């Protein structure tokens, strides 16, 4: 046999090869006989030259030629065993012959190291332990980068046991010159990638512990591999802890880190945490904190794929919120806030689909409103139908001012409103005016009318009447007259409700003569009074002391087929009380009971007041006791009236029957005097107002 010096071959990298390139790519799903694996692998490929100890030459081809000229054996046998048994029967000589064969078969595109890596992979794919590795490699000495590439190749061939055996041998071997070249972080990262791809998680944990014991610091590739393993096992919390640890140690996450973490968190339903990570990625890209890292293949494409994935995740999350019965505005608001911070924007089709899906619940107005403004910001086209749908949703949720904002956008930037839009806005204004009328917010009612006319929406009779009612409830007859004037000036003919509202405002302002003028004009133009108008005028005439005329209206009301209500009877009884006609009040009370109209607290209070006014303490006390027995609310003033009339007539007072004095109910008295700058209604020619146009 030739001298052993020919068997000692040292493979080393030149100075130009010391800068290595890491490349990451996603491997396809590989199916083998016994198991299936899906994952990615890391490839570290430094170039190298071959160096022999005998001829100190830098010519790679001459060095390989010297090896091949020494090797004994037939190349045909190597070709025959190329895909032979993968077991540990190979030895050092078979490895050298394999190097010879791979070198002869070398492709033009292969690197200098490729034949040796292929030969070592072929020789080691069947090993089970580190001793077998030592037998096969023998005294041949290779650089650590060669063994790193071999570990990666063994992983590609689904041989994790052989890869682990090679690492164990590398940890214990010694160089020919006494030096020791131990596995580095790249070697460990390659093995971790092999174990991850083959789902050998327990072994990977042991290897990580060995790295720490051997003082080998983890880099971003190590962290990425560990995060990916946790993601494969469905353990997002552990993956998140690794991510937080690497940020704490000052490492800068790369695109693969963010992509793996986002996939792990998305699979566990933590959408808000996904948005936080994506926001960090966007901030990192803008700040340029990863400029020193080399760009990987397909990185731009993978970045776009990640953005699409996050957008789709948010889109599905909003759909889930719309279909959930337990969803709240708060959680959706947090999602929208995260999307805005991460600059996540849904496309036009997504926004349209989501807006159309809104409407099953009242709270659906919230995503519809957000999506609407999102479309406006991005300049997407909105058709009239979609805008009308949003206005309808906002109105249903009592967000009328927001609906008006959508309408104003349509007026300014399009699409132009149509008849359906105007009808929707008119219904919203009617609701607002009705609310103003019920609450007596007369200034709000006038502002709403101004807003309607400003936006080109013509108020209908309902809108005008609601404003009139608001003025009446607020005891603002001057404002009511102004609204009535505007109503007729706008071409809207007053109806019985309009006249009734105006009469009520004048009655509450104690403007009895002006109310009589409106009443006469209403009859003159042929508008038939309703129960409300009759009752208001009975109250007006009662206040002015025209008791007989008030009674005439009561009987006229009955002749016209209208049944007087408790309010109408109370108006007549109040008229009697003003005239100190106690017997008349009792008569109307008896007539009321005969008509099956149930008296209320106001009825008995006015009857007691009327009886006390004429000094009839006995009937006054009797009705007070009856009122108390019926459980009707009693004011302290009624109690005081009974005591006062009894004392005035030296009548005995039975405090046990009367009971304790009721609590004092404070009544806020409105100041009915004209405010500064307000029109004095007494100076208004009401006949001219109601005669305008009509």
Give the per-residue pLDDT at 455: 74
Give the per-residue pLDDT at 122: 92
Give the per-residue pLDDT at 21: 26
Question: How is residue 261 written in tokens?
Answer: 């973490």
Give the per-residue pLDDT at 694: 34
Of 480, 612, 461, residue with least CA distance to 536: 480
Question: How is residue 603 written in tokens?
Answer: 């009825």
Measured between alpha carbons, how far is 207 from 213 in angstroms, rounded to an integer?
Answer: 10
Indicate if the pLDDT at residue 461 is higher than 90: no
Distant-in-sequence, close-in-space partners of 655: CB < 8 Å, separation ≥ 6: none
Q: Could you count the other beta carbons within 10 Å of the beta carbon of residue 289?
A: 12
The whole-number average pLDDT for the span 334-347 is 91
Give the per-residue pLDDT at 290: 59
Measured between alpha carbons, how far is 18 from 217 in angstroms, rounded to an integer?
Answer: 20
List helix spans (H) across 342-418. Answer: 348-357, 365-378, 384-396, 400-413
Distant-in-sequence, close-in-space partners of 265: CB < 8 Å, separation ≥ 6: 236, 240, 273, 274, 277
DSSP class of residue 316? H
Task: Give the Cα-Cα-Cα angle 184, 188, 194 (nearest 5 degrees).
Answer: 150
Q: What is the pLDDT of residues 118-134, one digit of tens each?
A: 999 998 988 988 889 88
The whole-number average pLDDT for the span 487-513 is 89
Give the per-residue pLDDT at 586: 92
Q: What is the pLDDT of residues 157-192, one digit of tens each?
A: 999 999 999 999 998 876 555 566 788 999 999 999
Q: What is the largest CA-CA distance in the chain?
A: 151
Q: What is the pLDDT of residues 381-440, one digit of tens each?
A: 999 999 999 999 998 888 888 888 888 888 888 898 888 887 887 777 777 777 766 666
Q: 291 or 81: which carries more pLDDT confidence?
A: 291
Please, which pLDDT band fits residue 471 given cuts at 50, 70 and 90?
A: confident
Indicate if the pLDDT at residue 57 is higher than 90: no
Rg (CA), the chain: 48
Burial degree of 451 (CB within 10 A; 0-12, 13-18, 19+): middle
The full 3-state SS of 92-103, as one line of letters, equals: HHHHHHHHHHHH
The whole-number average pLDDT for the span 554-580 is 90
Phi/psi at 530 (5° precision): -105, -175
Give the per-residue pLDDT at 681: 45
Helix axis angle, 419-439 to 461-473, nearest 10°: 20
Q: Could you count the other beta carbons within 10 Å of the beta carbon of residue 124?
A: 27
86, 55 contact by CB (below 8 A): no
Phi/psi at 75 (5° precision): -65, -25
Please state, in angstroms and as integers, the Cα–Cα distance from residue 541 to each residue in 276, 336, 498, 684, following that order. Answer: 73, 62, 20, 20
Q: What is the pLDDT of residues 605-654, one digit of tens each?
A: 999 999 998 888 899 889 999 988 888 898 888 988 888 988 888 888 88
Number of helical (H) and strand (E) elements in the chain, helices listed first:
34, 7
Give the per-residue pLDDT at 42: 30
Measured between alpha carbons, how far is 482 from 569 in angstroms, rounded to an integer?
Answer: 31
54, 2 contact by CB (below 8 A): no
Least trusted range by pLDDT, from 342-346, 587-591, 671-675: 671-675
* Residue 549 CA to its chain's centroid (Å): 65
Give the per-residue pLDDT at 312: 93
Burial degree of 98 (CB within 10 A; 0-12, 13-18, 19+): buried
Give the per-residue pLDDT at 519: 93
- The DSSP-derived string for 463-512 is HHHHHHHHHHHTT-HHHHHHHHHHHHHTTPPP-HHHHHHHHHHHHHTT-H
Please, which pLDDT band fits residue 363 given cuts at 50, 70 and 90?
A: very high
Domain boundaries, the chain: 4-217
Enclosing H/E stretch for 31: strand 30-31
Q: Could you count the other beta carbons within 10 Å of the beta carbon of residue 22?
A: 16
Quote the percentage of the chain above a pLDDT of 70.
Answer: 79
Q: What is the pLDDT of residues 527-540, one digit of tens each?
A: 999 999 999 999 99
Give the per-residue pLDDT at 601: 92
**Residues linked to residue 11 through DSSP beta bridges, in sequence order:** 50, 142
Indicate if the pLDDT at residue 684 is higher than 60: no
Indicate if the pLDDT at residue 5 is higher than 50: no
HSE on the CB side for 336, CA within 13 Å?
Answer: 17
Give the per-residue pLDDT at 297: 63
Give the per-residue pLDDT at 11: 32
The whole-number average pLDDT for the span 333-342 is 91
Indicate if the pLDDT at residue 79 is higher than 50: no
- Mode of pairing for the β-strands spanning 141-142 and 22-26: unpaired
Burial degree of 396 (CB within 10 A; 0-12, 13-18, 19+): middle
The whole-number average pLDDT for the span 231-249 is 90
Measured between alpha carbons, how far is 584 from 587 in angstroms, rounded to an integer?
Answer: 5
The answer for 684, left when phi > 0, alpha when psi is -120 to 50, beta otherwise, is beta
Give the per-residue pLDDT at 150: 93
Indicate if the pLDDT at residue 475 is higher than 50: yes
- Mode of pairing for the β-strands spanning 9-12 and 141-142: parallel
Indicate if the pLDDT at residue 30 is higher than 80: no
Measured between alpha carbons, how far is 257 from 221 in angstroms, rounded to an integer?
Answer: 9
Of 111, 182, 112, 125, residue with least CA distance to 153: 125
Give the per-residue pLDDT at 44: 31
Please, which pLDDT band fits residue 372 given cuts at 50, 70 and 90?
A: very high
Give the per-residue pLDDT at 377: 92
Burial degree of 223 (CB within 10 A; 0-12, 13-18, 19+): buried
The whole-number average pLDDT for the span 441-455 is 77
Task: Give the Cα-Cα-Cα angle 187, 190, 194 (nearest 5 degrees).
Answer: 140
Q: What is the pLDDT of residues 296-326, one digit of tens each?
A: 667 788 889 999 999 999 999 999 999 988 8
Give the per-residue pLDDT at 472: 83
Mean pLDDT of the residues in the chain: 79
């Amino acid at each position: 046999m030739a001298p052993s010096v020919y068997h000692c071959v040292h493979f080393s990298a030149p100075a130009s090869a010391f800068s290595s390139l890491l490349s990451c790519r996603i491997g396809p799903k590989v199916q083998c006989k016994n198991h299936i694996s899906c994952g990615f692998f890391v490839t570290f490929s430094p170039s190298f030259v071959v160096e022999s100890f005998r001829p100190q030459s830098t010519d790679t081809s001459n060095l390989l030629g010297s090896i091949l000229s020494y090797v004994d054996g037939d190349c045909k046998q190597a070709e025959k065993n190329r895909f032979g048994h993968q077991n540990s029967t190979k030895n050092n000589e078979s490895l050298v012959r394999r190097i010879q064969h791979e070198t002869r078969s070398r492709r033009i595109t292969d690197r200098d190291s490729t034949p040796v890596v292929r030969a070592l992979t072929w020789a080691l794919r069947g090993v089970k332990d580190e001793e077998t590795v030592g037998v096969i490699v023998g005294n041949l000495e290779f650089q650590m980068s060669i063994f790193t590439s071999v570990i990666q190749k063994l992983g590609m061939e689904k041989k994790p046991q052989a890869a682990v055996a090679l690492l164990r041998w590398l940890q214990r071997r010694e160089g020919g010159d006494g030096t020791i070249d131990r596995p580095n972080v790249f070697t460990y990262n390659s093995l971790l990638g092999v174990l991850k791809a083959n789902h050998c998680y327990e072994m990977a944990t042991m290897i990580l512990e060995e790295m720490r014991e051997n003082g080998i610091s983890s880099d971003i590739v190590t962290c990425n591999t560990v995060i990916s393993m946790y993601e494969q096992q469905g353990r997002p919390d552990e993956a998140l802890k690794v991510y937080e640890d690497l940020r704490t140690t000052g490492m800068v996450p790369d695109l693969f880190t963010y992509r793996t973490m986002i996939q792990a968190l998305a699979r566990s339903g933590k959408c808000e945490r996904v948005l936080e990570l994506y926001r960090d990625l966007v901030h990192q890209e803008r700040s340029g904190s990863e400029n020193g890292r080399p760009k990987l293949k397909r990185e731009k494409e993978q970045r776009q794929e990640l953005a699409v994935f996050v957008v789709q995740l948010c889109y599905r999350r909003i759909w889930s919120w719309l279909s959930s019965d337990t969803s709240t505005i708060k959680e959706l608001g947090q999602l929208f806030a995260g999307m805005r911070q991460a600059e996540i924007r849904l496309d036009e089709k997504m926004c349209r689909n989501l807006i159309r899906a809104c409407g099953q619940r009242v709270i659906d107005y919230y995503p519809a409103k957000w999506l609407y403004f999102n479309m406006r910001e991005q300049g997407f086209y909105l058709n009239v139908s979609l805008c009308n749908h949003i206005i309808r949703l906002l109105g249903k949720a009592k967000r009328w001012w927001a609906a008006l904002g959508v309408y104003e956008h349509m007026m300014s930037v399009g699409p132009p409103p149509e008849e359906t839009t105007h009808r929707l806005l008119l219904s919203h204004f009617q609701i607002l005016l009705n609310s103003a009328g019920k609450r007596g917010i007369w200034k709000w009612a006038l502002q709403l009318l101004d807003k309607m006319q400003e936006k080109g929406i013509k108020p209908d009779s309902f809108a005008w009447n609601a404003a009139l009612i608001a003025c009446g409830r607020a005891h603002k007859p001057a404002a009511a007259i102004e609204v009535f004037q505007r109503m007729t000036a706008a071409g809207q003919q007053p109806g019985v409700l309009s006249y009734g509202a105006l009469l009520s405002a004048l009655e509450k302002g104690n403007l009895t003569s002006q109310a009589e003028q409106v009443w006469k004009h209403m009859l003159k133009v042929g508008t038939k009074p309703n129960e409300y108008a009759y009752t208001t005028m009975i109250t007006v005439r009662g206040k002015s002391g025209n008791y007989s005329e008030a009674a005439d209206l009561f009987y006229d009301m009955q002749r016209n087929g209208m049944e007087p209500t408790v309010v109408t009877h109370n108006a007549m009884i109040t008229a009697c009380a003003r005239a100190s006609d106690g017997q008349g009040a009792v008569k109307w009370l008896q007539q009321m009971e005969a008509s099956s109209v149930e008296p209320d607290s106001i009825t008995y209070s006015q009857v007691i007041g009327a009886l006390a006014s004429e000094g009839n303490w006995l009937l006054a006390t009797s009705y007070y006791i009856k009122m108390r027995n019926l459980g009707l609310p009693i004011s302290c003033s009624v109690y005081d009236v009974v005591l006062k009339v009894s004392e005035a007539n030296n009548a005995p007072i039975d405090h046990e029957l009367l009971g304790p004095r009721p609590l004092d109910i404070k009544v806020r008295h409105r100041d009915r005097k004209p405010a500064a700058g307000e029109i004095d209604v007494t100076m208004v020619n009401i006949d001219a107002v109601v005669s305008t146009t009509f």
